[in-house]
Amino acid sequence: MNYRKLLSFLFVIVVTITTIHFLPDDALARAGGGGGGKGGGILQIIFLPFILAYAAIVTYLVNKKNKESKQLLEQIAKLDDSWVLTKIKARIEVSFFKIQEAWMERNQDIAKEYMSERLYTKHKTQTDQHLKDNTQNILKNINLKSARIVEVADFEDDSKDSIWAYIKGSMIDYSINTETKTVVSGDKHEAENFSELWKFIKNKKNAWVLDEIDQDVSILDLKSMKSFSEDI
């Protein structure tokens, strides 16, 4: 088996194992409706080398894409201050906490100005269902650890502009029945770490708003990220 085939073989093993054993299992968890992986115990010990290998690949790709994105942002920002990195990161941070709050309170109007119309409608449909089901997702100790830009798409038509950010965070995340006040899923004591990809687009006011949350971040997702600008 040559070097290229060996890498491909290891890649398939890593992706398969992490997919099978660490899939989300809580349909109500945090904003977006995904859940945290619940791998643990003996399985986590057995597959630890593969988990570490997967994490190393993800870290490498995030660093690579982030570096490319930052270099391009520096150039675009000279022409359009809506692309200034510090402003974008500040917007992401406010959006992150507002969107989590709106999800937990089951009131999407709290974060309406930070979401696209499409995502607002999607989240409202989901949290309205939570209300009907007497279910509430409780989020505590919400911590945004980092937000790193991994793709920049700058079009001549500003309405098509987009940014993908790799989000890392942690929070206590569980769901309750609002009538009985009993926990129906999740852990109310232990914080869960997570990583997600958030896509931001520009609204009619030229402000960055969240349009998509990808809670199943894969190596293939990151490999496909490509930053570009039609304006420079």
Q: Which pLDDT tens digit goes with each residue over 60-114?
A: 999 999 999 999 999 999 999 999 999 999 999 999 999 999 999 999 999 999 9
- The predicted pLDDT at position 44 comes to 65
Q: Which pLDDT tens digit goes with each residue over 21-59?
A: 444 444 457 998 755 445 456 666 777 787 788 889 999
Q: What's the CA gap between 49 and 161, in Å, rounded?
A: 39
The whole-model pTM stands at 0.86
The amino acid occupying position 125 is T
Please give the DSSP secondary-structure letter assigned to residue 113: G
Question: In the chain, where are the structural domains located?
Answer: 3-229
Please give the DSSP secondary-structure letter assigned to residue 110: G
The amino acid occupying position 43 is L
Q: What's the CA gap between 149 and 65, in Å, rounded?
A: 8
> Quick count: other Cβ atoms within 10 Å of Cβ 211?
20
What fold characterizes domain 3-229?
A: Nuclear Transport Factor 2; Chain: A, (3.10.450)
- The predicted pLDDT at position 46 comes to 72
What average pLDDT does the chain have?
88
